[in-house]
Structure 1
């Protein structure tokens, strides 16, 4: 399944280019994290192509400022914090009361490489925000996804999934020492496995799911990183600003990073596909040796592991 199409696009393709000939009128889309960074660029691009885009946010006032002036975008008026399950449930009820279908769900919100902290239920915060919140959100939105008769679920992962497979024995770091990068890697592996499970379980309902590695983009996601860490990643410019001096297949602008998200959300090139990990606006190859600089690890697309995680999540987490 992990075979490039090839799509004809590249790392330099922008989100605007993906939708330049698209008419998304009548499509209903949710973008978590849709008020900043890659989520905001995705929401703006899809709304400009005619879709109705609904954005839930953790900070409603900040999100309102970011979304000011955008047509076809509706901000959920209450807090939705993916690490607070009751707010996810409340958003699900609100959406179901207003919309009879959901064509596209983009799970873009997340956190990265933070010091050890836990949500209100005791779950490690990175797995809570990056995986658990979206797992429960999908459960609450399944009726609307099924009614779309051709829905897509797009979940952001990261190259960081290379750092760790999913640890079924101690996913919350209750018994092992905490490493923020291992925790982030595990969370992004879980996000990829979520796509595999959703696609396998609900493709008969005409729901297909995709995982995206957007590339390395300097956004607010990196706020928890020190100047030293960013320098090691080459993400500090000569003038001291955060960002890249040059771009390549991995280092991208925000619009280039959002391109693969938008491609997975709307491209007809992916009709008949699902459960795949994508990067650079194409299906990524399987990462099979240490010399490869692209691709997805087998542990992040294993169907048996994905279905096990889907079933055991209520037992593994509080």
Structure 2
């Protein structure tokens, strides 16, 4: 990390619309994975409101069409498209990449699964790592030419405070030798999201592509479909929060939109943001800030190589 931390006028209560106010995205093209619900749809809505052409990359095209129609109705922007994308299916990812034509200015890697029961892809990969990291890795590297053609592209890697639960365990990423733990698997995948931003920026900054990661905050969405209300309440209590600490989806999308569009981040990458500010290192007993292992450049380079090797296998 550099000593100069990005400071913004926004807070944890700021909405995505407030973050993007005054920013003109006319002529810009954006992709939001998981853009049919939760903070994904609100991220897409804010980008569309600023004039961007937005593609919702979603597993369920019907839900995507409903979301696109709603975004158009609320923003007046008719350039909201839907494309199928299943991040756990590399054929689906490859098809999306092959069908993309022209420059891409903003890619928001937002989709994900959280604390799921043990599941595996056709390749035998642990599902959370495969979906949250490897699918987005394949998508983003596949779209690199489109991002480079944009001349100043932003990639947004949506992580989580859950990255504090686990580094990437390179000796057993797929839980082949250790007992599966849904939260450790989720935490590992969210650390991978941060490490991806570090290494992508190192490799691609010369192409004008900058990638940052973020923690959106605690928001009630479909992401928590595998988690009981009791467990959510325990998590909230452990973080020192209460009912007031739940963000709305509009507030939850704000940090994604900041990272995607703010001129304060021009030429800046490899950083971790939360509550619309660049975060500092995590302090013991807190769930805020980043774990040092998540911004470790050696781990970031290693993860990139491991990811390439897995996708080639």
Give TM-score, length-normalised by structure 1: 0.91
> How far apart are the structure 2 equivalents of 1:234 and 1:213?
15
Q: Distance in 1 between matches of 2:266 and 2:307?
A: 29
Match of 2:55, SS state, is strand
Match of 2:253 in 1: 258
Cα-to-partner distance string for 1:14-53 (whole Å, 9 max, x where unaligned): 1010111111100100000111101100001100110000
- TM-superposition CA deviations, 1:74-119 (whole Å, max 9, x none): 111xx310000000000001113xxx10001000000000000001
Residue 246 of structure 1: aligned partner: 243
Tell me which residue corresponds to 1:267.
Answer: 262
Indicate the residue corresponding to 2:59 in structure 1: 58
**Structure 2: how far apart are the matches of 1:314 and 1:101?**
24
Q: Distance in 2 between matches of 1:315 and 1:202?
A: 19
CA distance in 1 between partners of 2:213 and 2:263 (Å)? 16
Following superposition, the deviation at residue 61 of structure 1 comes to: 1.2
Q: Aligned-pair distance for 1:234?
A: 4.5
Partners of 1:83 and 1:188 in 2: CA distance: 16
Partner residue in 2 for 1:32: 33
Gap regions ≥5 residues in structure 2: none
Q: How do 1:1-318 residues align onto structure 2 when only pairs under 5 Å count?
A: 1=1, 4-69=5-70, 70=72, 71=77, 72-76=79-83, 79-96=84-101, 100-234=102-236, 246-248=243-245, 251-287=246-282, 289-316=283-310
Moved over 4 A (4+): none
Cα displacement (A) at 1:282: 1.2
SS in 1 for 2:178: coil
CA distance in 1, matches of 2:285, 2:187: 19
Deviation of 1:174 after TM superposition, in Å, equals: 0.7
Give distance in 1, aligned partners of 2:288 and 2:303. Answer: 25
> Do 1:161 and 1:186's aligned partners in 2 also have CA atoms closer than 8 Å?
yes
Structure 1 CA distance for aligned equivalents of residues 193 and 251 of structure 2:
21
Does the residue aligned with 1:41 lie in a helix, a strand or coil?
helix
* Distance apart, 1:316 and its partner CA: 4.8
- 1:198-230 CA-to-partner distances (Å, cap 9, x unmatched) read 101000001100001001111000011123212
CA contact (8 A) 1:171 1:316 kept: no
* Cα distance in 1, alignment partners of residues 286 and 121 from structure 2: 36
- C-alpha distance in 2 between matches for 1:261 and 1:111: 17
Higher helix share: 2
Counterparts of 1:148 and 1:194 in 2: how far apart (Å)?
20
The whole-number CA distance in structure 1 between the counterparts of 2:173 and 2:16 is: 34
- Equivalent pair of 1:85/1:133 in contact (CA under 8 Å): yes
Contact 2:33 2:40 in 1 (8 A): yes
In the alignment, structure 1 segments of 5+ residues that lack a partner are 236-243
- Structure 2 distance, partners of 1:294, 1:229, is 19
1-side partners of 2:209 and 2:168: how far apart?
24
Q: CA RMSD in A?
A: 1.6
